[in-house]
Structure 1
Amino acid sequence: MTAVRTRPAATALEPVRSAVLRRARADADGVRAAAEADAARVRAAAEAKAAETLARARAEGAADAVELLETQRARTRRSMRARELAAQRVAHDDLRRLAVDAVRERLRDGPGRELREALVVVARRLLGPHAVLTDAPGGGIEAEAGGRRVDLTLDALTARAVDRLGADLDGLWSA
C-alpha cells in the first residue's frame, strides 16, 4: 500500500516538480547568460587593453627606432668628418714637408748665405743686438735673448707660410 500511495503523490507533485525544474533551468539559463555577457565584457576590455598596449608599444618602438637611426646617422657624420679632417691633416702636413724640401733645394743652389743674413737682421730687430744666434741643422737660425726665443728655422718659416695660406687651402678640400 505504501508503494501505491507514493505513486499518486509523485503524480500529484509532478506539476510542482516540473515548475521547479523549469524555474531552475530558467535561473540557470539567466545565470549562464549573465556569465557569458560578463565574460564577453571582460574579454572585450582585455582585447581593448591589449590593443592599446600593443599600439603604445609600436609607437614607442617606432620612436626608439627613429631616435636610434638619428643617433647612428650623427655618429656616421662625425666619423666621416673625422676621417675627412684626418685626410686634410695628412695633406696639409705633406704640403708643409714638400714646401720645406723645395725651399732647402732652392737654397742649396746659392742664396742660402743671403737668406741667413736676412734672418740675422730679423732676429736682432725682434730680440735686440745681444741676441744669441744658433744655426739650425735644417737651415735657418734660432735666436734667444732675455728669456725670449725666436724660431727662424726653414721648417718654422715654411710652416708659417703654409699656415698663412689658410682659406686658400680650403679650396683644395672642397673641389
Structure 2
Amino acid sequence: MSAAEVLKLARRSNIMIATAESCTGGLVAAALTDLPGSSEVFDRGFVTYSNAAKADMLQVSGSTIEQFGAVSQEVAREMADGALRASQAQLSVSITGIAGPGGSEHKPEGRVCFGLAVDGHTTSTETVEFGALGRTNVREAARDHALELLQKAILDLQNSL
C-alpha cells in the first residue's frame, strides 16, 4: 500500500483526510505530505502523543483514558472522531499503541489500536498485534496499516455510490 495510491483515490473521490497519531508520531501524515499535490486531499494531522494532547486537541475523554488506557480501541475511536470534528476532512484514521521497547503483560510491545472515522458512518476500530519487532518496525508497520485502512475506506465509499 502506498501513500500515492491513497492520495490518488482520495483525489478521484473528492475526499479530504485527517490523521490522529500517537505512537507513530506523524508518520502517516508525513507519508501523505511527502508527495506533491497532497494538499488537495490532506487537511491536517494531529500528533497527540500525551494523554493531555489527546484530550486538548481531539476531545478524548479523560474517563475513557482512565477506564481503558491510552492504548485501547475506545481511545482510538475517540481520536478518529475528534480528528473529523476538528478538521475539514470526511475521513480520518487514528493510531495509538506501544511501539516499544517495553510494554506490559496486558499491553505488550507491538499492540496498536486503530480507529477509522468516515463522515456519516459508524466509526470502526481494530487492534493489531505486530509483536516485538522493535520500535522503528512497529511504527512503520502501523503507518502502513493505517494507509491500508484509508485505501480500503475510500474504495468502500466509491463502491457505495
TM-score under structure 1 length normalisation: 0.23
Higher relative contact order (Cα pairs below 8 Å, separated by 6+ residues): 2
TM-score under structure 2 length normalisation: 0.25
Q: Which has the higher helix share?
A: 1
Q: Which has the higher strand share?
A: 2
Quick check: which has more Rg, 1 or 2?
Answer: 1
